[in-house]
A and B are shown apart, each in its own frame.
Chain A
Amino acid sequence: AQSVTQLDSHVSVSEGTPVLLRCNYSSSYSPSLFWYVQHPNKGLQLLLKYTSAATLVKGINGFEAEFKKSETSFHLTKPSAHMSDAAEYFCVVSTTDSWGKFQFGAGTQVVVTP
């Protein structure tokens, strides 16, 4: 069984300040974890993924995430927010016992103010 919880449904940041999106997961087996971004009326874009290699994962557009097994967390960060980062972000978990199925978190809406 697997599940994922995004702790914030809505995050508002000022342009140029750090962004933190929190994600906790639950899985019976070693998970694969992903962060996706979805801009309004658009499809999903993969930001980064963790697949049992390095625990600190760097993605596109300056985003990174750290896998912490002891805390069952996979938080997404960016040191300096840009206006174009305003979007919906989804944390996703998949495990080997789920036949490749993805479990999506509820999503976090990011608003960036000038």
Chain B
Amino acid sequence: GAVVSQHPSWVICKSGTSVKIECRSLDFQATTMFWYRQFPKQSLMLMATSNEGSKATYEQGVEKDKFLINHASLTLSTLTVTSAHPEDSSFYICSADNGMVAGGYNEQFFGPGTRLTVL
């Protein structure tokens, strides 16, 4: 159980276009989803926290008008990179929180990631 999918797994686009990445929790409902960005040979950097039915909360330094996040249902969150530029090329990873607090902790389940290359 607790499977998270992302689509597409990789995408190449031209500079100036917009790209949408989907994150789905396949077998559980996720009130909270997270979006991360990972540059080559680096760690994951949290971009934003997405809560179903409300506006996303962005981390400091992340442009909310650049990275549009929509969490329309308990199983789907989308990240749209608007007017993409080569510096936006990165590995984007989402995770879904199952909301379980048994033992006093929440657990995140990670998607396989989306490789974005902007030409």
Contacts and interface: CB of A to CB of B under 8 A. Distances in A.
Contacts, number: 54
A17 interface: no
Q: Is the interface of A mostly helix, strand, loop or mixed?
A: loop
B112 A43 contact: yes
A44 B93 contact: yes
B43 A106 contact: yes
A41 B38 CA distance: 11
Given A51-B104, A53-B103, A94-B106, A43 B32 contact: no
Given A101-B49, A107-B43, A43 B93 contact: yes
Contacts of A55: none
A95 to B, nearest CB: 9
A100 B42 contact: no
Interface in B6-45: 32, 34, 41-45
Contact of B32 (A30, A94, A100): A100
Nearest to B2: A46
6 contacts: A43-B111, A43-B113, A44-B44, A52-B104, A104-B46, A106-B42
